[in-house]
Amino acid sequence: MGVTGSVLELCNLTRRVGDGTPARAIIDNFSYSFGSARLYSIIGPSGAGKSSLLRLLNRLDECTDGSVKFKGRDTREFAPCELRQRVGYLFQTPHLFDRTVRDNIVYAQPHLSESKISCLIQQVQLPSGIVDAPVDNLSVGERQRVALARLLATQPEVALLDEPTAALDPANTEAIERLISSVVTDHGVTVVMVSHSRQQVVRLGGEAILMVDGKLIEHGDAVQLVKNPGTPQGRRYMNGEPQ
């Protein structure tokens, strides 16, 4: 797993919401660099702004101040549709369009070849016969894999995953975690994942980023940060104490 330069660079990123004076900052002066082909887990208490941060990275939401650079260029210089294919996003509860597995996989890439579709189905460890099945008949775990295959079909350079295993049982969680690791190591995709599980962050390794109240509190090696946090807020979070 080679680290080569920064793929996403956040500089004083801030998002304020609401009509208050001043408006409340849900992302507060956040600066960080995400390296290429690496796995990052964003952790922190509920309401810390983890999902809000993810939404700024592919411009599903607009920042109020600061900037995000993708491969050295401000994301505002990209056409939003192009940026979002290169910086993919998987929602916590993925929405599948009410059709077949194939229709969902080719949704963003209508000219995808049959062999590529089969390859994606295999990559997310779904049985090959499932490709023409209606999505209504799928289990929660299978739906998550279809959504992941659909995301990978766009060949993103960065994958933003918002708690991808939150609704899954342990067996499916383990399978999706293996898949996430393989996306990083075998396909060179940078994965930025929101997680609520400290155990999961340790299992997956890579880097971890602790957020509280929209601010970056600390970051570093995932195992180190979970087991031996370097800040009082980090220790409180890891001990399950209120912030």
Partner 1 sequence: MTTPGITQVLLAGIMVVIAIAVARYWRLPVIKDMAFGSVRGFVQLVAVGYAVRFIFDIESPWLIMLALGIMMTVGAHAAAGRVKNVKGSFGISLAAILTGSLITLATMLVFKIISFDARYIIPLAGMIIGNSMNASALVIDRLASDLRGNRLAIETALALGKSWREASQQFHRDAARTGMVAMLNFLKTVGIVALPGAMTGMILAGADPVEAVLLQVIVVYMLLSATTITSVVAVELTIRRFFTRYHQLRTNL
The contact set with partner 1 (CB under 8 A) reads 17, 58-62, 80-82, 84-85, 88-89, 91, 93-95, 97, 107-108, 150-151, 154
CA distance linking residue 35 with residue 58, whole number of Å = 16
Shortest Cβ distance from residue 62 to partner 1 (Å)? 6
Q: Which is nearer to partner 1, 91 or 205 (CB)?
A: 91
- Edge to edge, the sheet with strand 190-194 lists 87-90, 158-162, 190-194, 39-43, 207-212, 215-221
Nearer to partner 1, 159 or 168 (CB): 159
Of 90 and 217, which CB lies nearer to partner 1 in the complex structure?
Answer: 90
- Which CB, 150 or 198, lies closer to partner 1? 150
Which residues in the chain belong to E strands, given as ranges? 6-17, 24-35, 39-43, 65-70, 73-74, 87-90, 158-162, 190-194, 207-212, 215-221
> Are 7 and 159 spatial neighbours (Cβ–Cβ below 8 Å)?
no
Residue 183: partners with Cβ closer than 8 Å, 6 or more residues away:
152, 159, 189, 191
Question: Which one, 5 or 80, has the nearer CB to partner 1?
Answer: 80
* Residue in 69, 122, 124 with CA at minimum distance from that of residue 94: 124
Nearest to 92 by CA among 65, 121, 55, 58: 55
CB of 65 to partner 1, least distance (A): 16
- Min dist CB 35 to partner 1, Å, is 23
Q: Shortest Cβ distance from residue 19 to partner 1 (Å)?
A: 9
Least distance from partner 1 to the Cβ atom of residue 7, Å: 18
